[in-house]
Amino acid sequence: MDLKILRYFLTVSNTNNITKAADLLHITQPTLSRQLIMLEQSLGVELFEKNGRAMTLTPEGKLLKSRARDILDLAALTIKELTEKNVLVSGEVTIGIVESQGSELLLDLIKPFSLSYPNVRFNFYSGVTEYIIKKMDEGGVDICVLLDTVDTLSYNVIRLPTYEEWGVLLPVDDPLAKKEKVEMKDLIHQPLMLPARPSVINEIENWFGRSKYHINILGTYNSLVIPIQSVRKGICYVVCIDSPLVRNVNGLTFRQFNPIRRTQSLVLWKKGRIFNTATDLFVKTISRYLNQPEY
């Protein structure tokens, strides 16, 4: 697929008008029309539905548009990496992170690394685990920092010396807030909101032992915004990891579990991934800092 034609397609899909798109691309309308027809013929599908001057995407066109931006960004990144000069280390290190103690450790390593390699730039993607893994599998993220709740078979792994401690977020005036730590039996029959990942839900359920059949799971979350509001309104408790975010919410408090429940942080990257010079050096820096073998 020609990247130039893909850019043409993306411009038309954004403007919904071939005349406007041609003006933006500084080409004639007939030329642009021919290029789109060639693209549709090469793919064997119709990408646009024409209604007068307006053009709307077909389902196939919507699918291509959802991938086109990533394809073009990845192509630009690849070209940039291939043209980097070895004399002076430069380039980009793209990191996917979930908020954790592990991500803070990684950030602590960036300052000395940047002093040694001032021309290296870091790009960060933050979000839920599924989003980060998807970006890494597609090549949009070089390495990521996640919790040890993922299948690591397809990835190289560096285990960080940091652990996330689990607990429950609740109102400061809640009876359970009087306890220094909360036991799983305290939460039986209470409405709970849990992280959305099935593997994490299974692990949390196992913490309850035989009482897991009496858990009242009100809902799940992949961001703490709605759960925090739900706790404020007295709708439920939220099971989550300890972090500055949950420690600094007005009117709410965090209580760790007893016994302590911990999850380790990991640095992962796809097996067989060929890094640019900057990323390769940064991964080796992490390995040396933790006295682990270099990959």
Residues 208-227 have pLDDT tens digits of 998 888 899 999 998 889 99
pLDDT value at residue 291: 75
Question: Percent of the chain at pLDDT above 70?
Answer: 96
pLDDT value at residue 219: 96
CATH number at residue 194: 3.40.190.290
What is the token pair recorded at 33? 């029309």
Task: Let me know whether 52 and 187 are in one domain.
Answer: no
Distance CA 147, CA 129 (A): 8
- pLDDT of 293 above 80: no
Task: Let me know whether 77 and 111 are in one domain.
Answer: no
Task: Let me know whether 170 and 194 are in one domain.
Answer: yes
What is the token pair recorded at 236? 């439920």
Q: Give the mean pLDDT of 7-19.
A: 89
Domain range for residue 204? 165-261
Task: Let me know whether 17 and 43 are in one domain.
Answer: yes
- Residue carrying the six token digits 């099935």: 198
Of 282, 257, 255, 254, the closest CA to residue 269 belongs to 282
Q: Dump pLDDT digits (tens) for 52-61.
A: 778 889 999 8
Indicate whether 294 belongs to any domain: no
pLDDT value at residue 87: 45
Q: Give the mean pLDDT of 4-15.
A: 90
Task: Let me know whether 96 and 113 are in one domain.
Answer: yes
Mean pLDDT across the chain:
89
CATH number at residue 18: 1.10.10.10
β partners of residue 267: 145, 158
Indicate whether 126 belongs to any domain: yes
Q: Dump pLDDT digits (tens) for 65-105.
A: 988 888 888 888 777 766 655 447 889 999 999 878 788 88
Task: Let me know whether 51 and 37 are in one domain.
Answer: yes
- pLDDT of 120 above 50: yes
Task: Let me know whether 10 and 72 are in one domain.
Answer: yes
Task: Let me know whether 251 and 272 are in one domain.
Answer: no
Task: Let me know whether 189 and 276 are in one domain.
Answer: no
Decide which of 255 and 153 is more confident: 255
Structural domains in the chain (count) = 3
Q: Give the mean pLDDT of 257-282.
A: 92
Indicate whether 193 belongs to any domain: yes
pLDDT grade, residue 185 (50/70/90)? very high
Residues with Cβ within 8 Å of residue 109, at least 6 apart in sequence: 282, 285, 286, 289
Task: Let me know whether 107 and 75 are in one domain.
Answer: no
Task: Let me know whether 238 and 169 are in one domain.
Answer: yes
Task: Let me know whether 157 and 170 are in one domain.
Answer: no
Q: Is the pTM of this model over 0.85?
A: no
